[in-house]
Amino acid sequence: MNNTRHDWTKEEILNIYNKPLMELLYEAATVHRKHHDPNTVQVSTLLSIKTGGCSEDCGYCPQAARYHTDIEKNDLMSVSHVKAQALRAKESGSSRVCMGAAWRNVKDGPEFDQVLEMVRTINKLDMEVCCTLGMLTENQAKRLAEAGLYAYNHNLDTSEDYYKDVISTRAFEDRLETIDNVRKSNVTVCSGGIIGMGEKLEDRAGMLVALSSLNPQPESVPINTLVAVEGTPMEDIEPVAIWDMVRMVATTRIVMPETQVRLSAGRTQMSREGQALCFFAGANSIFAGDKLLTTPNPDVNEDMEMFALLGLNSQKPFEKHDQPETVEASDSALQGLGEKPKWTRPGHTIERNEAAKAKSKIVQ
């Protein structure tokens, strides 16, 4: 039975966020175990296929052309280069390649055709493919779906109320429209946001209201902490405390029980203990590799060492991640007074993803 709610209020979410930490962690972990294997984490590799020169003014982003940052700009990568990077990611344990281009919106033409070929190429490696290319039309979303795209990332970034303090070149409604266009295709949605940009707790709750009210809710929700980059308007903002991240992950898990909660930007500022708390609270997806587009990220070998230490396994491509067929977890088990919960992993993807995978085989 699907108990997912789409009518959370900001007040309800704030009450969850502000619970005593141990109570919040217990509730989030209980929800997590009900819907997910707590020892499996999906690993993605994020690849910047076109870096810098963006016309937007996102206050956190070093790729905006108007800011003076030290990022190394590059034109659109070749398909062969992307394939080589995808093979390297697959060998290191990633099940998904996410390709990001610093565009305000996708424009039909040779470059978009090249991205479509990248999607087809990575599909042939039996990997999930995600793109984040800016705003999309309905037709462009359908073309990406036909190429075999598995997911499209388009973050809301923050609450609708605080959005105008972060970005002026694109409206909050524009982001919702792109997500709606993706939903009209056979592509899953990845959408989340950033904490630590000077927002209030009410804005964090407001972002979760916007995400959770989407029907269906995003299959993946990245929770990022701001990585302050010199040359951007937010360069002097101090990093948020790990407890803010733990609370945000836990609250996201409770409000969106079936989505994959991605522990994203800012992990270099977190200890292994802090990351472990986030996994316990419901995070079950990370980006691997030493760079997230332009900002630093833990080395993949460090992540694999952490996985081994915590007893975590990497999720396989197209593997179903929610609603295990068998979950036996009594109250005593959850409190550590009985046997551990027994898990039966179905080993199959959800119906929509199975269809997408089959379709990608046909495209090949």
**In the predicted model, what is the mean pLDDT of residues 330-359?**
36
Contact (CB, 8 A) for 102 and 111: no
Cβ proximity of 260 and 221 under 8 Å: yes
pLDDT tens for residues 252-292?
999 999 999 999 887 888 899 999 999 999 999 998 765 44
Beta partners for residue 221, in sequence order: 261
Greater pLDDT, 58 or 118? 118
Q: Among candidates 260, 270, 180, which has minimal Cα distance to 221?
A: 260
Taking the CA atoms of 134, 100, 323 and 310 in sequence, report the sign of the dihedral they define.
negative
| Domain annotation covers residue 156 | yes
Contact 154, 175 (CB under 8 A): yes
Question: Domain for residue 1, yes or no?
Answer: no
Domain presence at residue 3? no
Nearest-5° Cα angle at 42, 303 to 298: 25
List the beta bridge partners of residue 44.
96, 287
Domain span at residue 37 reads: 10-363
Residue matched to tokens 């997806």: 285
Does 98 belong to an annotated binding site?
Answer: yes
Q: Which residues form the catalytic set?
A: 54, 58, 61, 98, 130, 190, 262
**Residue 97 belongs to a domain:** yes
Highest mean pLDDT among 213-227, 310-324, 332-346: 213-227
Prediction pTM value:
0.84
Per-residue model confidence (pLDDT) at position 266: 78
Tell me the CATH number at 301.
Answer: 3.20.20.70
* Residue 360 scores a pLDDT above 90: no
Mean pLDDT confidence for 148-153: 96
311 within some domain: yes
Burial code (b: 16+ CB inside 10 Å, e: under 16) for 231-251 equals ebbbeeeeebebebbbbbbbb
Q: Is residue 190 part of a domain?
A: yes
Q: How far is CA 90 from CA 123, 130, 157, in A?
A: 12, 14, 29
Q: Which residue has the higher pLDDT, 294 or 16?
A: 16
Q: Is 345 annotated as a binding residue?
A: no
- Cβ atoms of 223 and 264 closer than 8 Å: yes
Alpha-carbon distances, residue 192 vs 218, 256, 351 (angstroms): 9, 12, 24
Place of tokens 């409000």: 255
Lowest average pLDDT, out of 60-64, 81-85, 187-191, goes to 60-64
Count how many domains the chain has. 1
Distance in angstroms (rounded) separating the CA atoms of residues 274 and 266? 12
pLDDT tens readout for residues 22-77: 999 999 999 999 999 999 999 999 888 887 667 676 767 666 656 666 666 678 99
User: Quick one: pLDDT at residue 71?
Assistant: 65
Confidence of residue 93 (pLDDT cuts 50, 70, 90): confident
Residue 4 in any domain: the answer is no
Which has the minimum average pLDDT: 113-127, 159-173, 177-191? 159-173
Tokens 């394939």 -> residue: 83
Judge whether 34 and 241 are in contact, CB under 8 Å: no
CA dihedral for 98, 287, 74, 225, sign (positive or negative): positive
Please check whether residue 46 is in contact with residue 293, taking contact to mean a CB–CB distance below 8 angstroms. yes
Alpha helices in 185-241, H assignment, sequence order: 201-212
Write down the pLDDT at residue 268: 83
278 is in an annotated binding site: no
What integer is the mean pLDDT of 11-30? 98
Domain presence at residue 5: no
Long-range CB contacts for residues 209-214, cutoff 8 Å, separation at least 24 = 209/8, 209/9, 209/10, 209/13, 209/159, 210/156, 210/159, 210/160, 210/176, 211/156, 211/256, 212/5, 212/6, 212/8, 212/255, 212/256, 213/6, 213/7, 213/8, 214/6, 214/179, 214/189
